[in-house]
Structure formats: structure tokens, C-alpha cells
């Protein structure tokens, strides 16, 4: 037990890095996902294709390969210089974005056509319809799948320890290297991830209740 208390400052520092990367990546990922979903549904074929190819490429390759590509691959080019954290955030954000995109697209397409017809018949533009009528309703429906993706992305951040980002997992490694208490430390790290994810699902069920479809 003592070893956990002693290493707590290190682990908490790792937790801070994990939370920081997760928060930035999930926000960027969500914006990217929304953008990709709108491109997928845009009335211009070329845009549909671009979004589809991008989504397929991300979903069709392992996140670890993407991480190596963004960090080692891109950095091997002369004109690129990405630090670890940026490469890590990009990887998690793009990955989340591709999955968000498909969830958002499905959510938008599941909306009753009558909603759009009513909005357009009142003279609202396609953009206003999307913003005031379709997306607010679609987002409420999609909240459970958003939570799911957020949880997956949070856990994905632990992969970033491989390129040496000092996140919670990496800090666990570091502490074990000096204390040799693998059982206690990995248990503590696991509990810390679990608590974060549990809080995330609590937040999600609160939001679901708050924005219940009437």
C-alpha cells in the first residue's frame, strides 16, 4: 500500500497528461467527425468520396500503425516536425473523428424526413434546418454512442505511452522501473482509468436525463 502512496504524485502527473490529451483529442475528434459526416451527406459527390475515403482509411488501419505513421513516419520527412504530444493528440482525434463521423451520419439519416420538410416549408435554409432542427435532435439520440466512443478514445490514449508520452500508463511503467512493484502499480493505474471512465458514464447518463427526448 505504501508504495502506491509514495508513487501517487507521479501517477497523478500521468493522469493529468492523459486527461489533457483526451480532452483536446475528443473535442477535435468530435469537430472532425461532424465535419466528415456533413461532407458525407453533402449534395456534392466529390466531397462524399473524400470523406468516405478518409473514414475508410482510418477505420481500416490499426491505431498503433497510425500513431507510428504520424510520429515516426511524418517526422522522417524533412519539412515536418511534430512533438510526441501533438502526434498523439492527432492520432486519437483522427481515430475518434472517423468513428464519430459514421455515428453522426447515421443519427442524421435516422431523422424523420418530415422534420426537414417542415423546416424548409417555413423558409429555413438547409443550413438552418441542420443547425436548429436536425442536429439538436440527432445529437440527443446519439449521446449513448458518443459516450461509447469517448470511453474507447480515453483507453486508446494509453497506447501513446509507446512513443514516450508521459501519460498515466507511461508513468506506471516509470514507477515500476524504480520500485519493481508491478502488481500494486498496475492495479492502481487500472483503478485510476476505471474511475475516469466511470465518471464519464455518470456524466453521460446525467446528460441523457437532462436532454431526454420529449
Closer residue to another protein, CB minimum distance, 66 or 137? 137
How many residues appear in the chain?
214
- Alpha carbon 115 to chain centroid, angstroms: 29
Nearer to another protein, 15 or 133 (CB): 133
By CB under 8 A, is residue 16 in contact with another protein? no
Dihedrals phi, psi of 83, to nearest 5 degrees: -80, 165
- Residue 52 burial (CB count, 10 A): 14
Residue with the three cell numbers 466511470: 198
With CA atoms as reference, report the closest residue to 106 among 55, 171, 65.
55
Options 75, 115, 145, 148; binder of another protein; rule CB under 8 A: 115
Q: Is 44 in the site for another protein (CB under 8 A)?
A: no
**128 touches another protein by CB under 8 A:** yes
* DSSP 8-state class, residue 80: -
Interface with another protein (CB under 8 A), residue from 9, 62, 136, 144: 136
Candidates 6, 56, 83, 112: give the one binding another protein (CB under 8 A): 112
C-alpha cell at 174: 516509470
Choice from 76, 121, 177, 183 touching another protein (CB under 8 A): 121
Quote the DSSP letter at residue 44.
Answer: -
Footprint of another protein (CB under 8 A) = 112, 114-115, 117-125, 128, 132-133, 136-137, 140, 213-214
Amino acid at each position: 500500500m505504501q508504495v502506491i502512496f509514495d508513487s501517487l504524485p507521479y501517477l497523478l502527473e500521468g493522469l493529468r497528461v492523459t486527461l489533457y490529451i483526451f480532452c483536446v483529442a475528443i473535442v477535435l475528434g468530435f469537430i472532425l467527425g461532424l465535419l466528415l459526416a456533413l461532407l458525407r451527406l453533402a449534395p456534392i459527390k466529390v466531397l462524399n468520396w473524400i470523406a468516405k475515403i478518409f473514414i475508410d482509411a482510418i477505420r481500416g488501419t490499426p491505431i498503433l500503425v497510425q500513431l507510428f505513421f504520424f510520429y515516426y513516419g511524418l517526422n522522417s520527412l524533412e519539412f515536418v516536425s511534430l512533438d510526441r504530444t501533438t502526434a498523439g493528440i492527432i492520432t486519437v482525434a483522427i481515430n475518434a473523428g472517423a468513428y464519430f463521423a459514421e455515428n453522426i451520419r447515421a443519427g442524421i439519416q435516422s431523422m424523420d424526413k418530415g422534420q426537414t420538410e417542415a423546416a424548409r416549408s417555413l423558409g429555413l435554409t438547409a443550413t438552418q434546418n441542420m443547425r436548429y432542427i436536425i442536429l439538436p435532435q440527432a445529437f440527443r439520440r446519439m449521446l449513448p454512442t458518443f459516450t461509447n466512443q469517448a470511453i474507447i478514445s480515453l483507453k486508446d490514449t494509453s497506447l501513446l505511452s509507446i512513443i514516450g508520452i508521459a501519460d498515466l500508463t507511461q508513468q506506471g511503467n516509470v514507477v515500476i522501473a524504480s520500485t519493481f512493484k508491478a502488481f500494486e502499480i498496475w492495479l492502481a493505474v487500472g483503478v485510476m482509468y476505471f474511475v475516469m471512465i466511470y465518471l464519464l458514464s455518470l456524466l453521460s447518463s446525467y446528460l441523457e436525463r437532462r436532454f431526454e427526448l420529449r
